[in-house]
Amino acid sequence: MTVSDLRPGPDAPLPKRVAVLSFHTSPLAQPGTGDAGGLNVYVLQTARRLARRGVEVEIFTRATHSSQPPVEEAGDGVLVRSIVAGPFEGLRKEDLPTQLCPFVAGVMRAEAGQAPGHYDLIHSHYWLSGQAGLVASEHWGVPLVHTAHTLAEVKNAVLTSGDTPEPESRRIGEQQIVDAAHRLVVNTTGERDELVGYYDADPADIDIVPPGADLEQYTPGTRRGTEQARRALGVAQRSEVIAFVGRIQPLKAPDVVVRALAEIVRAEPHRDVRLLVVGGPSGSGLERPRSLMELAEELGVAERVSFLAPRPPSELVDVYRAADIVAVPSYSESFGLVALEAQACGTPVVAAAVGGLPTAVANGRTGLTVDGHDPREWARVLGSLLDDDELRLEMSRHAPVHAAEFSWDSTADGLLASYAGTMASYRARRAAATAS
């Protein structure tokens, strides 16, 4: 069902307290480096919005620093519980499955210290959390809602040079979750179709709830504000600016934008065009953390590329406002929050036509989508949009209007409706089983 179809009835049960599982990355981590990204933003923002609606949310994650307190507040009604599971540092993402057992044990201990029925529902994020959620759901007698965010079958289908395939153990784990979870929540119809096609999921068990953007934080800037943002970033006012925001790893394809920049410069050497890369190495990108810098040097555009560290929303908004275009060239994206945030700031987006990006970007109206990842085609699209001031201005006007259709408040409403339906069907099945 789509979010517009998710409407709980007047007697539908709503959860009082939800346990959210985010095993492999903390919602308090800075997005853009390590394993922190859109999932972190999703978990934290939806938790805060659910709390505003009277639902207490407790987020379970793995502790990554010895100084971390076991429990932290992440807003009114939102607690983050950091469970010690394995070494605090130096544990690769590929090795995280070995720490699922201690993580599950820590989650179970936390629940055991509460009154019976403390949690009404579990919402797990990513396949590792889903595995933990299967155990907790069985022991607590509450339904499990799962959001995959990314899928092994989909990532392997678009594997790019320099990236490593997802292991078979992950695919098997995802299949187990799809078969056993009481509800699957996805971002788009395309993601629903991938679950059905690759994992034989039942469409009736899938709810479509698009993610959102923080529309209070990400807003269009004034001309003076844009000038100030450029000064703060060390960018000349007359420069043409392309921005890439995200983790530096092959899947996100930042190299495509660097190569496209080189193509633009090769055709017009005197053109004053620059690229801002905001993010840190992640995943297989950790093996060669300087590879993107080396590529820029090799292509002769190093002086035109600025590498900036990941930054909080209060500073990231300046990057979006300073850019003429934000590029999202990923090989796979379940949705693409960067595209939404940029448009909320009034910046047109050029994005790969993959995953949820064609939904996040209104092609021809708020930005452009590109088929494939040929740097020459990306150079042509980026260059033509930079050349067309009138079209960019029109897209800048439409972009915030389009982004306003997606908000975290709307996402929270969709999740609440999905939770209510899941709890109602779960209780009905249990009652029927008891009666028989």
Distance of alpha carbon 265 from the chain centroid: 32
The answer to whether the annotation marks 150 as part of a ligand binding site is: yes
The answer to whether the annotation marks 252 as part of a ligand binding site is: yes
The answer to whether the annotation marks 155 as part of a ligand binding site is: no
The answer to whether the annotation marks 38 as part of a ligand binding site is: yes
The answer to whether the annotation marks 266 as part of a ligand binding site is: no
The answer to whether the annotation marks 274 as part of a ligand binding site is: no
The answer to whether the annotation marks 187 as part of a ligand binding site is: no
The answer to whether the annotation marks 315 as part of a ligand binding site is: no
Under a CB-based contact definition with an 8 Å cutoff, are residues 335 and 312 in contact?
no
The answer to whether the annotation marks 36 as part of a ligand binding site is: yes
The answer to whether the annotation marks 77 as part of a ligand binding site is: no
The answer to whether the annotation marks 125 as part of a ligand binding site is: no
The answer to whether the annotation marks 30 as part of a ligand binding site is: yes
The answer to whether the annotation marks 249 as part of a ligand binding site is: no
d(CA 159, CA 419): 34
Tokens of 354: 């993959």
Closest CA to 147 of 190, 101, 192: 192
The answer to whether the annotation marks 39 as part of a ligand binding site is: yes
The answer to whether the annotation marks 119 as part of a ligand binding site is: no
The answer to whether the annotation marks 49 as part of a ligand binding site is: no
The answer to whether the annotation marks 341 as part of a ligand binding site is: yes
The answer to whether the annotation marks 199 as part of a ligand binding site is: no
Residue set of the binding site for Mg(2+): 320-321, 323, 347
Residue set of the binding site: 24, 30-31, 35-40, 93, 126, 150, 170, 247, 252, 311, 320-321, 323, 333, 341, 347
Residue set of the binding site for 1D-myo-inositol 3-phosphate: 24, 35-40, 93, 126, 150, 170
Residue set of the binding site for UDP-N-acetyl-alpha-D-glucosamine: 30-31, 38, 247, 252, 311, 333, 341
